[in-house]
Chain A
Amino acid sequence: METIKVRDITKSDLKWNIEYIAERCTMCGSCVSTCTFGAIKAGVMRVDKIFSQNIKPDPQNTHKTIPVIKQVKTLANACVGCGMCAKVCPNDAIKPVRNTDDNRQTLMAHDAGPVKRGGRTNLNAQRTLDHIIVGRISQMTDPSLDSIRHTFDVRSPFGRVLPAKSLPFILKDGKLTMAHKAPPVQWIYPLIFSDMSIGALSTRAWEAVAMAVAYLNEKCGLPVRMSSGEGGMPSKLLESEQLKYMILQIASGHFGWNRIVKAIPKMKTDPAGVLIKIGQGAKPGDGGLLQAAKVAEHVQAIRGVPKATLSSPPNHQGLYSIEESVQKMHLSLNAAFGFRVPVAIKCAASATSVSVYNNLLRDPYQICGGFFIDGIQGGTGAANEISLDHTGHPIVSKIRDCYLAAVKQGLQGQIPLYGGGGIGMTGNAAADAFKMICLGANGVFVGKMLIQLLGCVGNEHGRCNACNTGNCPTGICTQDPRLVKRLDVEYGAERIVDYVLTFDKELRKLMAPIGNSSLPVGRSDALVSTDAAIAKQLGIQYVC
């Protein structure tokens, strides 16, 4: 037996172990060819057995060398637990099993510099929303509505809403008329598909989400909007009617905007909006990150960059204050589309969010069309793990704080609030959205959940989260054409559509018992909490 070196990586050091039953294996090779991480390989195993066939001891030796599947025991090829091997194995002969007893992999991985990964925080996956119940039910003093029979107006504003006294109304023949235009406001579905770029997602995965959006709008009558992410869009889409469903994102790298600006004269319709990304919940204070492995040719073309790791700066260069941001970015982006398109802003949730919101509410140009706050549980295609796990701010109390700050000034509703980061983490986005709305959000945005509907198996317990590597086993977060083929675009789009239709029904199932036919924005009296600390912080009733 060879001598081991104690620093060598062995199976027990890795977060995921491959459990393999040789007797069931037919050596078809599916698992090895499926594993995109090179975490398993075909090998041979020496099987020596001593046996005796006579009554008297008559030891004999058999010596076999059998083919088996082995786990590769290196950090570079460590199993991520995606379970693709188990999915393709016809005989249930192989599966990854979580090694709950070891953290050496994390420790050792730091040899190669800061650890990077995708997904969402694995340390702060606590669920405040699950301690909140819709507890004010209409009983006898007023009737519950019928979620199937009654009509419901499930729409949220997106755009700068003027106070009533500032509306440009004049009285003409006893009727109010508009003296001039007011800032653009769109009434959209309260579930926004969050900003995942072409680059972070495979073109086909992005296309699946976009297809679902078009279908929901055109066939289901739900005005769902989708943010492009920082990475531009295909020219064909920019020049199509479907642009009206898209919120163009501009982030600190300005990726894709060369192409967008050039397409403006050819646009048949206005986009749904512009979203200025200041920060995101998964990695607040850090810019976007697209690792070179994913900067494929088409990504280079859309973004106008060479093949290299693309690190967006943490700030929009040239902006050093919020007033300047409003004056320069908001105004110029508003101007770019003739003041017909709402321009909103997205920030990572932070202890400073209320200050930012207050500042925007008081801007004299009345030009910010939405405040998107992204909590710590937001997902990402790539980030430093230290950012993912150790920076950020939970979204629930932050939305509430911002709403109440507006209430204090009588400015609620003027800049619509959208909250994201962990919405739908447990699979039920309607409950999460409803509670966020009662706490003061106008709507929510989701990203991670969408790719999970497409087939992503990553979760907040350290499963997969390899979106940054280019090796996404589901073809969603990779630009490798062979892997992208794994994704069935139409099937994925259908799953998203089905989910949103169910979301819509479930939202009504929550609106009906509290007797509301339009969204209960700020109806905190509808909520109770079984956690006294949460109840106190959010200003809702504590119950037990």
Chain B
Amino acid sequence: MCRIGSIKSKVAFSPSKALYLMLPQQEGHDNSGFAMVMQDLYGIFTPYKDKPLLSLACTQRGAQMVEDFMDSHNWEQVAEWIPVPNDQPGLDIKAMPYYIFRNYDYPEYYRDKPMAEKEELLLDMRLKLREILEKAGEGYVYSFWPDVLTLKEIGDPRDIATYFRLWDDNGCLMAKSVVVQCRQNTNYDIVRYAAHPFFLQGYTLCANGENTFYTKNKEFQKSLHRGYVGFESDSQNFLYTLHYVLHELKWPIEYYKHVITPLPFTEINQREDKDVLTSIRQSLAHLEINGPNTIIANLPDGRMLTCCDSKKLRPVVVGRTDTMVAIASEVCGLNEIMPDRDMSQDIYPNEREVVVIDNDLEVQRWKQ
């Protein structure tokens, strides 16, 4: 079982906090990788919050290919952070030669375009880069978005943190929001793209569990949007549905849960909005999720969300203090990073519940 976690804070924090959240949750051979998406960045990225940040891991040739491609498409590099690894012997990490985190400015003719058009361009660029690197076998591109940084690697999370000097808390890499997960795919081939959190146009998501409707989700999502690609993990289905409901259909967030875990017909029929709920259930029947799972998501506006499957087969808990809210698969993670919180305020969402944390750390919860 994957353990998943997230932190949303009023004060920027270092990635080590995410590691402290995750490590106590390890069971058995659980911790086989480290992956995080940081949003609302500080530290060295503070001046570039509006400049799209490209996160990728690649070979030297891959780095050159990316550079050539971006140059030829008139993207202007404005900042770059290349981690200097602490490559001490004995570390359990399958590192790539290069990790590049680079801010770009939009091509000149795009700078005055509305954000909606820029969003489409950013996605197209990431998909193109992915295609180029994938075809050549020279690297992986995880996200290309303003104020968002993605880091993924295979190995022991502690050693990965050592390699990237994440334990140093040197203030260079800071954020107010992180979604994190510490496991590489243990069920199928280990592929870097299969490690969640996944990112698409401002939406970040990680999932703990199994989606037994993976095949039907995938077959449907493939034709819904050009950005729904990869499908290396069944957890991507959750992200794509989240994106589809909120970004494409532009439905309020309340309807996401109705899509992935619709109410039974007996309950729908007793509701005033039964026409709407039935229509959603039948039109998006192929986006329904079955199986045990919990998700944590981050939305483009900074809000954080969690909910679980319709039978509550996987756990999740939300803990909070005045300045921070954290979500974790298991409460021991929360105890590590916020031992002094009021535990009686912890929230264990039920199978019909959605919990959303807004940018003021106000917690909203409702039953679907």
Contact = CB atoms under 8 A, between A and B. Distances in A.
Decide if A and B are genuine partners: yes
Interface string A168-183: 0101001111100010
A169 B213 contact: no
Given A155-B265, A176-B276, A187-B278, A525 B252 contact: no
A521 interface: yes
A412 B219 contact: yes
A525 B215 contact: yes
A153 B263 CA distance: 9
A164 B187 contact: no
**A interface secondary structure, majority:** loop
B45 interface: no
Interface stretch (A138-146, A357-365, A389-397, A471-479): A138-146
A169 to B, nearest CB: 7
A413 interface: yes
A113 interface: no
Interface in B211-231: 212-216, 219-220, 222-224
A153 B224 contact: no
A174 B254 CA distance: 9
Contacts of B248: 165
A157 B285 contact: yes
B215 A412 contact: no
A178 B219 contact: no
Contact of B283 (A138, A145, A162): A162
A428 interface: no
Interface in A403-423: 407-410, 412-413
Interface in B237-259: 244, 248-249, 251-252, 254-255
B220 A410 contact: yes
Nearest to B245: A164
Interface stretch (A36-44, A114-122, A344-352, A511-519): A511-519
Contacts of A165: 248-249
Contacts of A133: none
Contacts of B285: 157, 161, 413, 521
A520 B265 contact: no
Interface in A246-304: none
Interface string B303-325: 00000001101000000000000
Contact of A515 (B215, B216, B222, B291): B291
Contacts of A161: 282-283, 285
B255 A176 contact: yes
A169 B291 contact: no
A514 B212 contact: yes
Contact of A141 (B210, B255, B310): B210
Nearest to A524: B215
B314 to A, nearest CB: 9
A165 B249 CA distance: 7
B213 A516 contact: yes
A466 interface: no
Contacts, number: 115
A162 B273 CA distance: 18
B40 interface: no
A231 interface: no
Interface string B257-286: 000001011000000010110111011111
Contacts of B74: none
A176 B251 CA distance: 8
A135 interface: no
Contacts of B210: 138, 141-142, 515
A182 B292 CA distance: 33
B288 interface: yes
Interface in A31-85: none
B264 A153 contact: yes
A409 B223 contact: yes
B291 A521 contact: no
Nearest to B275: A178
B62 interface: no
B221 to A, nearest CB: 9
A162 B292 CA distance: 29
A522 interface: yes
B157 interface: no
A516 B278 CA distance: 19
A415 to B, nearest CB: 12
A167 B283 contact: yes
B202 interface: no
A185 interface: yes
A218 to B, nearest CB: 16
A523 interface: yes
B276 A178 contact: yes
A177 B280 contact: no
A413 B290 CA distance: 17
Contacts of A157: 282, 285
Given A142-B209, A516-B291, 5 more contacts: A161-B282, A164-B244, A514-B212, A521-B286, A525-B215
The 9 closest A-B pairs by CB, nearest first: A410-B223, A142-B210, A525-B215, A515-B212, A522-B216, A164-B283, A516-B290, A161-B282, A407-B219
Interface of A: 138, 141-143, 145, 150-151, 153, 155, 157, 161-165, 167, 169, 171, 174-178, 182, 185, 187, 407-410, 412-413, 514-518, 520-525
17 contacts: A138-B210, A138-B212, A138-B291, A142-B291, A155-B265, A164-B249, A164-B283, A169-B276, A185-B282, A410-B220, A413-B220, A514-B212, A515-B212, A521-B216, A521-B285, A522-B216, A525-B215
